[in-house]
Amino acid sequence: MLSAEYLAGLFDGEGWVRADHIHYKGRKTGGYQLALGIAMTYEPVIRMLHEQFGGVCHGDDSFKRRYHKNRTIWRWHVASRLAVPFLKFIEAHSVVKKEQITLGLALQAHIELHKPMMVGLHRNEAFKTGVRAEREVIAAELRRLKKVDYLHTP
């Protein structure tokens, strides 16, 4: 089992948190989904992440095909409710991506809180519009944080 400290450091360097915009078939509007992952060339750690937290793992050898000395990049990613245990596991030990982790957890909590009211036959469009706007604020903040240059911030 990989330790929280190790995974937090690995995630700070090689991981990502996103609010993916998803579209539903037959609907004009979509929603957001929490997504996160880690990419690296060392397959055993990616396999252990997959065993410990679920999600999906796969190898990408497109870089290797371009130049024979490149190594396969192994990727692990997880979304929605499945992402929460991982984020809570590493949250206390993260430094670089602490704010992104907090926002990711807030997004998923917001989704869980309002999910029953966002689906079903009796829909209040004004309420749903407000909920979507709140999620857009979280997603925009996540995008902003990803553009921060951590080497030059005070």
Specify the CATH number for the domain of residue 125.
3.10.28.10
Supply the pLDDT for residue 78: 97
DSSP code, position 92: G
In a domain, 67, yes or no: yes
Helix axes 83-90, 4-14, angle to 10 degrees: 110
pLDDT band of 116, cuts 50, 70, 90: confident
Angle at 153 between CA 102 and CA 92, to 5 degrees: 30
Domain tally, the chain: 1
In terms of residue numbers, what domain contains 119? Answer: 4-146
In a domain, 133, yes or no: yes
Cα 108 from Cα 83, distance rounded (Å): 9
Q: Over 70: is that where the pLDDT of 109 sits?
A: yes
In a domain, 152, yes or no: no
Chain segment 6-64, per-residue pLDDT in tens: 999 999 999 999 999 887 776 666 688 999 999 999 999 999 999 999 999 999 877 66
In a domain, 41, yes or no: yes
In a domain, 153, yes or no: no
In a domain, 13, yes or no: yes
Cα 61 from Cα 52, distance rounded (Å): 24
Q: Over 70: is that where the pLDDT of 66 sits?
A: no
pLDDT band of 151, cuts 50, 70, 90: low
- Stretch among 50-54, 75-79, 104-108, 110-114 having the lowest mean pLDDT: 110-114
In a domain, 130, yes or no: yes
DSSP conformation letters of 44-88: HHHHHHHHHH-SEEEEE-HHHHHSTTSPPEEEEEEEGGGHHHHHH
Is residue 43 exposed (0-12), middle (13-18) or buried (19+ Cβ within 10 Å)? middle
Supply the pLDDT for residue 142: 92
Cα 121 from Cα 129, distance rounded (Å): 16
pLDDT band of 90, cuts 50, 70, 90: very high
In a domain, 151, yes or no: no
**Global confidence as pTM:** 0.84
Contact 20, 139 (CB under 8 A): no
